[in-house]
């Protein structure tokens, strides 16, 4: 029951973050959106990091901490650009393949991969291709589906790298320290440089969006970490459902419509990612 509750909570937080990002990036841009989100997240996480103290395992995991931070920030920037030129219903399911990317990385680094997992990874690729080439019955202004798919795929790869590194860290460090790297990297590499260049844009309409994104990102990863302590597979499957939740919410809130072939590609992605989480 704990895994179900926290898995669903993870999906809702990630879906909410994606929806807010899709609005914010159109106004202030992807870089500024990430910069503000990471600053809000750092403010939230830092008190818990200080309370936890410095674990002895930090020294031996500096490399993985850096990879986790850089991968997460790069993923947010790329997916942010994807939201600027594509629909939430297409971008979010592709971003949700980060777990599959993490499985591929594990296989490339020597972990054995079962035939069923290899098959599901191929199905996921097929779903991405279908979503990319499918005709759009109601395109948005300035929408470019193929670049959106390519950017979302790059974001999923970056997220997958970060997820793999986070998995390596989660057994050695407290949750607060696992959440810290992306926020530190984001503030140091994005927020501060943009502020110095006077390019850290923010408008009145985007203030609640970036605050909400920062809270949702931290809350989502925290819920996932708690749920995964009980049942990783159940938590992962439910967390990956942020993609259809985001697509439905985008239809209700923004009237974003997908064509039948686009829905088919998205459905293939959601089913394959869910099956992969159960099979892993």
Domain count, the chain: 1
More confident residue, 256 or 112: 256
Cα(237)–Cα(228) distance, rounded to whole angstroms? 11
SS (H, E, C) 75-103: HHHHHHHHHHHCCHHHHHHHHCCHHHHHH
Tens digit of pLDDT for each residue in 93-143? 888 888 778 777 877 776 666 777 778 778 888 888 887 777 777 777 788
Tens digit of pLDDT for each residue in 42-84? 999 999 999 988 888 888 888 989 999 999 999 999 999 999 9
Q: Among 7-11, 100-104, 169-173, 257-261, which range has the highest average pLDDT?
A: 7-11
> Residue 270 is part of which domain span?
2-279
């Amino acid at each position: 029951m704990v895994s179900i509750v926290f898995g669903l909570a993870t999906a809702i937080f990630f879906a909410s973050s994606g929806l807010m990002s899709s609005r914010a990036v159109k106004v202030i841009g992807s870089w500024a959106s990430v910069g503000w989100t990471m600053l809000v997240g750092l403010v939230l996480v830092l008190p818990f990091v200080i309370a936890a103290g410095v674990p002895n395992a930090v020294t031996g995991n500096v490399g993985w901490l850096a990879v986790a931070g850089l991968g997460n920030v790069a993923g947010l920037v790329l997916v942010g650009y994807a939201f600027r030129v594509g629909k939430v219903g297409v971008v979010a399911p592709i971003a949700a393949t980060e777990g599959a990317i993490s499985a591929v990385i594990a296989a490339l680094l020597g972990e054995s991969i079962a035939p069923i997992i290899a098959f599901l990874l191929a199905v996921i690729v097929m779903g991405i291709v279908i979503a990319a080439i499918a005709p759009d019955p109601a395109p948005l202004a300035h929408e470019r589906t193929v670049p959106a798919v390519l950017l979302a795929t790059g974001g999923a790869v970056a997220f997958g790298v970060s997820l793999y590194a986070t998995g390596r860290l989660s057994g050695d460090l407290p949750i607060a320290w696992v959440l810290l790297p992306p926020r530190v990297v984001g503030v140091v590499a994005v927020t501060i440089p943009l502020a110095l260049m006077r390019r850290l844009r923010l408008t009145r309409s985007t203030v609640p969006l970036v605050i909400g994104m920062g809270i949702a990102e931290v809350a989502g990863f925290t819920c996932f970490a708690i749920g995964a302590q009980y049942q990783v597979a159940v938590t992962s499957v439910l967390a990956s459902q942020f993609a259809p939740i985001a697509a439905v919410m985008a239809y209700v809130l923004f009237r974003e419509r997908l064509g039948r072939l686009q829905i088919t590609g998205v459905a293939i992605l959601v089913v394959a990612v869910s099956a992969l989480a159960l099979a892993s």
